């Protein structure tokens, strides 16, 4: 990438912000194994590290569909996923969530490599999760495979990758894989109604605006980003699930200004957020 000398300091600042959000360096664990669990899905599953320690891994960069919708929160996520893929039938969305889960079990039937910095992945489950990357026994990245096969969307928390891509480049790569899957109508994209995709996504955005207007924190007490849940943070103006998870991952914050280091919180977003936040002494 070419850049002028006047842009160079800004680029350095951006890299510094990404590095800060990415946390510590990745640690590499070879010969990991999948642990069978009935609650697993395509992007979250328990694994055994070589030393026998079990962790629940949450993949960076990807979001697989839900496999069930027993709670109101799950139902909202399924509706969001259906809208994203341009699908009216939520049962189709759930079915492809189950397909993703089955595919991951097959792909992880042989030992694989995990790379993680042990950053905590927020979630609605009581089980603690850890962000990480998985390299399959054939050298492919699991997240990339899922997106390319149309079994996941390019969506989620990001950081520099094990193969040296910075977060921005890695996100662009995932977006390109998703576009290729959509054009080829692979996986869930084979069920997409192009005419409905635009209207469904706009309906979801309108619903989120309505929820924020009715229940957002702008009309209530400020929240503490060090203790608030993902759902509570998502009620802030301009904050979706991915940004809410990045905010949680970036804890702790000494001041509201510290949130400016979170990727995705630019000057405009910060201006909308700052009056809705308060750090407890």
- The whole-number pLDDT of residue 123 equals 60
Q: How far apart are CA 279 and CA 223, in angstroms?
A: 8
Which among 142, 83, 129 has a CA at the least distance from the CA of 248? 129
In a domain, 236, yes or no: yes
In a domain, 207, yes or no: no
Q: 10-residue block means of pLDDT along the chain (281 residues)?
A: 38 38 79 93 95 95 93 83 92 97 97 93 70 97 98 90 92 96 97 85 72 55 82 80 82 90 87 86 74
Q: What is the CATH number of the domain that holds 256?
A: 1.10.150.320
In a domain, 202, yes or no: no
pLDDT tens, residue by residue, 39-69: 899 999 999 999 999 999 999 999 999 999 8
Residues 6+ apart with CB under 8 A from 66: 41, 74, 77, 78, 81, 93, 94, 97
Domain boundary among 191, 208, 234: 191
Domain boundary among 174, 191, 208: 191
- The whole-number pLDDT of residue 218 equals 46
In a domain, 17, yes or no: no
* Contact (Cβ atoms closer than 8 angstroms) between residue 228 and residue 239: no
Secondary structure of residue 153 in the 3-state scheme: strand
- The whole-number pLDDT of residue 52 equals 93
Q: Which tokens is 43 given?
A: 């992007």
- The whole-number pLDDT of residue 24 equals 74
CA 166 vs CA 58, 121, 170, 240: distances in Å: 19, 20, 6, 22
**61 and 166 share one domain:** yes
In a domain, 167, yes or no: yes
- The whole-number pLDDT of residue 2 equals 38
**108 and 226 share one domain:** no
Number of domains comprising the chain? 2
- The whole-number pLDDT of residue 240 equals 79
**114 is in which domain, residue-wise?**
22-191
Q: How far apart are CA 66 and CA 44, in angstroms?
A: 11
**158 and 255 share one domain:** no
Which among 180, 159, 161, 145 has a CA at the least distance from the CA of 42? 145
In a domain, 256, yes or no: yes
**79 and 184 share one domain:** yes
Which among 240, 2, 23 has a CA at the least distance from the CA of 116? 23
**186 and 221 share one domain:** no
Residue with tokens 């969305």: 93
In a domain, 261, yes or no: yes
Q: What is the CATH number of the domain that holds 107?
A: 2.40.50.90
**140 and 230 share one domain:** no
In a domain, 76, yes or no: yes
């Amino acid at each position: 990438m070419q850049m002028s000398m006047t842009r160079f300091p800004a680029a350095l600042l951006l890299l510094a912000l990404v590095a800060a959000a990415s946390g510590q360096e990745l640690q590499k664990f070879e010969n990991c194994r999948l642990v069978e669990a009935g609650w697993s899905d395509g992007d979250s599953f328990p694994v055994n590290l070589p030393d026998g320690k079990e962790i629940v891994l949450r993949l960076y960069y990807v979001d697989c569909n839900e496999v069930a919708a027993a709670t109101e929160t799950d139902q909202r996520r399924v509706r969001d996923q259906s809208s994203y893929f341009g699908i009216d039938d939520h049962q189709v969305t759930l079915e492809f969530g189950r397909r993703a889960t089955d595919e991951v079990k097959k792909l992880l039937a042989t030992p694989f490599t995990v790379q993680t910095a042990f950053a905590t992945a927020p979630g609605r489950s009581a089980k603690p999760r850890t962000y990480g990357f998985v390299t399959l026994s054939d050298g492919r990245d699991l997240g990339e495979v899922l997106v390319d096969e149309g079994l996941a969307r390019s969506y989620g928390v990001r950081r520099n990758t094990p193969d040296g891509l910075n977060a921005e480049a890695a996100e662009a790569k995932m977006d390109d894989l998703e576009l290729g899957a959509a054009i080829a109508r692979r996986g869930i994209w084979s069920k997409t109604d192009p005419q409905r995709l635009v209207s469904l996504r706009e309906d979801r955005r309108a619903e989120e605006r309505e929820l924020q207007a009715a229940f957002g924190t702008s009309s209530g007490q400020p929240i503490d980003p060090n203790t608030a849940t993902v759902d509570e943070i998502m009620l802030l103006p301009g904050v979706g699930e991915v940004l809410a998870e990045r905010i949680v991952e970036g804890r702790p914050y000494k001041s509201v200004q510290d949130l400016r280091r979170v990727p995705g919180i630019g000057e405009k977003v910060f201006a909308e957020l700052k009056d809705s936040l308060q750090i407890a002494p």
